[in-house]
Amino acid sequence: MMHRSGAVYIAVLMSSLLVASLAMAALTMAHHHARELTSDADFRRVQLAADAGLEWAVSSINSNANWRTNHTHNVDSTVQVVNGVNLTYRLLDDDGDLADNSLDPCDVLVTASLRESSFSWRAALEARGPGMNCLDYSATARNNIEITAEGAWSTDGPIASTGLVSVDWQADVTAECFASGGYAGLIHGGMNGLIGTLEQPDASVLEHYSNIATPIDSTLLRLSGSYCYLEEQLLSNTHNTISGEVNSSGVYSIDCLGRSIVVTDSRIAATLVLTNVGADCSIYGSVHWTASISNYPILLTDGNIDLSLTATPLLESTVGLNLNPSGMPYRGQTDSTTTTAYPSELRGLLYAAGRVSFDNNGSNNQFFGSIVSYGMIRGDGDLRLIYRDIFAQDPPPGFRTFEAVRIGRGSIRRVATP
């Protein structure tokens, strides 16, 4: 009898232990599930907070006129608590110094954290301040402006140089001039000292346009030695006789692979980005060039530009191509003939990271717009430059100051939490 009672006791004890173990397991699972739910909820909260943090960072920068000097590269801002989530942002400059150049591009990195959860966004800051003051001039050079030999230049807008404006004894220039390094030669117009900093973008300005451009393989052009030739072509946001692939914004890029490039006997209504140019990009002969988007540059290059246009009109009969087909009117008209003539002229904004020159090869350079050279401007050719203020009134991408910023389109990406 006692033996039977002991067995019953042991059975009851084992059952109790089993029930207790199951209860503990259930409790552990419940706690684990609760932690998972909390972790998931925390992650959603930090992600939403990081989204809001981008707007907070931009607002903080735009409300601080001295934001470049009041921030330090790669150092977090003061913590901001939003709905229990800790938010910080830091600014990242490629050269590690936010304050050394007011035109340097930079990124913002926003981090949101709550308990064991964190989330970070990184994005490029895009300048949305006023236009750079280079757009207030018909021509600007970071170095000298030199008119040589028998060159005759005239413009109804001012020109500016951070160096010298120099005119040879047989040459002359008619313009209101601003220079930091003084003057030499015959100048018809005011001679003024350049006040303040001449604002010009560096070669990084090409990046935005390269990113949205349709690339054109340079081997599709006629090649001869160290040159490639863009000749007898029609290029716009609706037509591309070179490769056939059309860019709806009318922005195209060509990697010249170290060759010089000659643009001649063509009608272009597009923005062209030329990289890895050899000695120079030469715009020669009869060319009619505008942009598809009115305030976009017509040409940007990381090299030099040589302008040598003639007064001879661009003739469809000469190039053997209809240059105003359906979808690409000229003065509101399209046709299917090859009898139309176009004035040989450039209309728009031209940018060179190197030198811009004007050659005297029977040239008659006519330009409506603005020329920006990050190098020098020189030459012995004639130039008639008619200033257009559309770029100052509505600056194109890459030509604004960083007095105000916004998040660059398509630049937001998730990164590891620092």
Whole-number pLDDT of residue 18: 65
**How many whole angstroms separate alpha carbon 348 and alpha carbon 272?**
12
∠ CA 138-140-143, nearest 5°, is 160
- H/E stretch holding 377: strand 377-379
Q: Which residue has the tokens 């000695």?
A: 279
**How many whole angstroms separate alpha carbon 394 and alpha carbon 391?**
5
Q: Give the chain's end-to-end CA distance (angstroms, integer).
A: 72
What secondary structure does DSSP assign to 344-364, as a single string?
Answer: -EEEEEEEESS-EEE--SS--
Least confident segment among 19-33, 90-104, 386-400: 19-33
pLDDT, tens digit (0-9, with 9 covering 90-100), for 313-361: 999 999 999 999 999 999 999 999 999 999 999 999 999 999 999 987 6
Instruction: Provide the 8-state DSSP code for 170.
Output: T
Whole-number pLDDT of residue 344: 97
Contact between residue 117 and residue 138 where contact means Cβ atoms under 8 Å apart: no
By percentage, how much of the chain surpasses pLDDT 90?
81
Is residue 47's pLDDT more than 90? yes
Whether the model pTM is above 0.85: no
Q: Which of 115, 125, 46, 70 is nearest to 93 (CA)?
A: 125
Decide which of 331 and 13 is more confident: 331
**How many whole angstroms separate alpha carbon 138 and alpha carbon 302?**
20
Whole-number pLDDT of residue 3: 54
Q: What is the mean pLDDT of residues 385-413?
A: 94
CB atoms within 10 A of CB 223: 13
Q: Parse the chain into domains and list their residue ranges.
A: 33-129+404-415, 133-393
Most distant CA atoms of the chain, gap in Å: 135
Coil, strand, or helix at residue 103?
Answer: coil
CA dist list (Å): 165 to 15, 226, 380, 409: 101, 33, 14, 40
Whole-number pLDDT of residue 356: 97
Confidence bin at 302 (pLDDT 50/70/90): very high
CB atoms within 10 A of CB 387: 21
Confidence bin at 14 (pLDDT 50/70/90): low
**How many whole angstroms separate alpha carbon 110 and alpha carbon 89?**
4
Whole-number pLDDT of residue 360: 76
Q: For all residues of the chain together, what is the average pLDDT?
A: 91
Confidence bin at 85 (pLDDT 50/70/90): very high
Whole-number pLDDT of residue 40: 87
Structure tokens at 317: 């009969």
